[in-house]
Amino acid sequence: MATWRELFPHATPTEWGDWRWQQRNALATAEELARVVRLTDEERRGLQLAQGRFRVAVTPYYASLMDPDHPSCPVRMQSIPSPRELVPGPGDLEDPLGEESRRPVPAVVHRYRDRALFLVGDRCAVYCRHCTRRRLTLAGVDGFDRHAMDEGIAYVRQHPEVRDVIVSGGDPLVLSDARLEELLAGLRAIRHVEILRLATRAPVTCPMRITEALAAMLRRFAPLFAITHFNHPRECTPEARQACERLVDHGVPVENQTVLLRGVNSSARILLDLNQRLLTFRVRPYYLHQGDLAAGTAHLRTPLEAGVAILEQMRGRTSGLAIPHLAVDLPGGLGKVTLSPDYRIPPPAGDGDLAGTWFRSHRGEPSFYPEPPSGDCTCPYEEVYYAARAEPREGAPETA
């Protein structure tokens, strides 16, 4: 495989390591991408159809990870548009998560009672072909300006039930440090906001964005979690490791959300490899997302049972730390549910009268778990503890 110096001979090492240079020099046309890979007729057709319809941009760094010979390369499949993006799929939705009806101001989506999503814009360093917010990146209108930011912060301030804010977009790390710091400072100044999360694919697509200055700035807003998005072991480069470890070294925990993509990572072997590598980066595998019903992504979605089968193959072959939750974000904005293999089995003949449940191990061995003598799960000290803290007992999160 060619090195970046061979692929981009006019770039100096200083330029290559500059995230601004990476964003300014993103590849977007067939002519530009053909300097990196041997485009197929289908890829050329996809790029042609994308003009005026879909955004295309691939940082030189991420493009350098592409296999030049194989169109089934996972980086190519995530970056280069396919003609199949124009083929309607069953259940396709422009707004698969029902965000627009729960968007009280342009910058905020408020789906869950105690959490809010803060949208910083519609721009990304790389436009993923499986993006769930394609309606925003297709629009070509950056709605994030000072007024939108101030209006969004005011909304969060006026809603004391919001304790957790996820800053997303687009990708927040296309913003300058100064602009991002201004936003985070405004949110952190709100007393009832306990947790901040920053959703970004920069460690994967433009790891040079994670500078010492950025990591130190993010640390000042702790507790703040970085949520990133590795989908394949090919993305686990030394540069990506350095970016993740820099965040962790500065006290910013990093968690990963993988999207299950047909033909990209729809294999237990690939996901085992990916998640075990991420743990060595000190990144915790968090969610394995079933593909959302975003219009134009049906060719990348897997059957629900495929994800459950993959989890079953992973169980027993690796540490539980490397096994994410398989999540389905229900259409219409009804929230996430998680799926997992069912290890319960019918009781064998002559089981007897002892109350309990029969299970199978990951190897298929039966095992009996008896019920305890009492089913009373009351916590006697609960009311005393919360009365002393003068805090109301929280109910289950609501989707509203």
For the chain, the structural domain boundaries read 4-81, 100-339
Look up residue 294 and give its two tokens: 């975003």
Burial 224-257 (b: 16+ CB within 10 A, else e): bbbbbbbbbbbbbbebbbebbbbbeebebbbbbb
Residue among 55, 73, 102, 131 flagged as catalytic: 131
Residue among 124, 206, 236, 244 flagged as catalytic: 124
Tell me if residue 363 is catalytic: no
Tell me if residue 197 is catalytic: no
Helix, strand and coil in the chain, % to nearest 5: 35, 15, 45
- Nearest 5°: phi and psi at 330? -65, 135
Tell me if residue 244 is catalytic: no
Q: Which of 231, 182, 244, 221 is nearest to 65 (CA)?
A: 231
DSSP for 357-380, written as a single string: EEEE-TT--EEEEEPPS------T
Residue among 133, 201, 241, 301 flagged as catalytic: 133
Q: Which of 143, 58, 63, 67 is nearest to 108 (CA)?
A: 143
Tell me if residue 377 is catalytic: no
Q: Is the peptide bond before 203 cis (omega within 30 degrees of 0)?
A: no
Alpha-carbon Rg for the chain, nearest whole angstrom, is 23
What is the pLDDT, as a whole number, of residue 391? Answer: 56
Alpha-carbon distance of 191 to 302, in angstroms, equals: 42
Residues of the chain with pLDDT under 70: 138-143, 391-400
Between strands 254-259 and 325-330, the pairing is unpaired
Q: Which residues contact 303 (CB under 8 A, 6 or more apart)?
A: none
Tokens 């072959």 locate to: 317
Tell me if residue 92 is catalytic: no
What is the pLDDT, as a whole number, of residue 298? Answer: 96
- Beta-carbon neighbour count of residue 141 at 10 Å? 8
Residue among 112, 127, 286, 287 flagged as catalytic: 112
**386: enclosing H helix or E strand:** helix 382-389
Say if residues 76 and 66 touch (Cβ distance below 8 Å). yes
Tell me if residue 111 is catalytic: yes
- The helix-helix angle for 304-314 and 268-280 (nearest 10°) equals 60
DSSP bridge partners of 196 = 165, 224
Look up residue 154 and give its two tokens: 């005011």
CATH topology (fold) of 100-339: TIM Barrel (3.20.20)
Alpha-carbon distance of 395 to 390, in angstroms, equals: 16
Encoded amino acid at 233, one letter: P
- Give the pTM: 0.93
Tell me if residue 131 is catalytic: yes
Residue among 128, 206, 236, 244 flagged as catalytic: 128
Residue among 45, 115, 157, 219 flagged as catalytic: 115
Encoded amino acid at 169, one letter: G
What is the pLDDT, as a whole number, of residue 393? Answer: 47
Q: Which residues contact 1 (CB under 8 A, 6 or more apart)?
A: 67, 68
Residue among 111, 197, 201, 246 flagged as catalytic: 111
Residue among 150, 336, 343, 360 flagged as catalytic: 336
